[in-house]
Structure 1
């Protein structure tokens, strides 16, 4: 199969039982996505898969032949950090850092969902443009857990990045 990861194309033979997370980490040495729970419950393995946030621990790699994967390590533009990465630094949206790559990728996906007008469970009016309120951001980021409890900084970072995109 062929997979593009952070702009680099890889041709690999894959056992059909291999998860995308294991392919990335063990075969391609892409260590930004982390193996947290291995059950799709913590979000530490989140990447952008063809532009949408995705849990790689639940995805069989062979299902994504030809896909484009962007990890937190592939978001920067040369020497410039992605606005979400910069916001995480400015607001201390991390402590131990284990969940941070998944949080960052999820935040990028959340901002894209908001820009595209996708509602969430807390969207009050489906006829209006969805605002990046704290309730919206908390709901959309709820699939990414932080064992250290850095949620105040994470929310502030996503809020800042949402404002920068307007």
Structure 2
């Protein structure tokens, strides 16, 4: 039986903490290293990479299934392919849960790998400075508009209020 491609370069490594039950038998023959320390940082890194590969596979299958569902009524959409994508997604989710449970990686949050920004630091600082300056100018315009409105309100409130017998024409004269 051939190993699934989602294991990347670690197809032969499966460190089953529960002792060769469950996950190893469901995914086919895999090598469990007897002499490997299951708590070593190297094994943990490999388990995280296995989990990230499996997560990428789940994401891909989920996108395919969602696309098939969204385009179900369009010509050329194959409902059998959508059903196969959903079935594959269910299986991949099950395998991911088992991998996370047996390796102990499931107890930690998995974050996507950090992709460094290729721009130099000076460009990033310049861009952030422009954003901050634009926000500052916007806030300044809001404060200026508020002070104009406050000025109008105080000017209107300072004028004489017409009495009960006076009219607007009498005030102008």
Higher relative contact order (CA 8 A, sep 6+): 1
Report the structure, 1 or 2, having the larger helix content. 2
Highest Rg: 1 or 2?
Answer: 2
Report the structure, 1 or 2, having the larger strand content. 1
TM-score norm. by structure 1 comes to 0.27
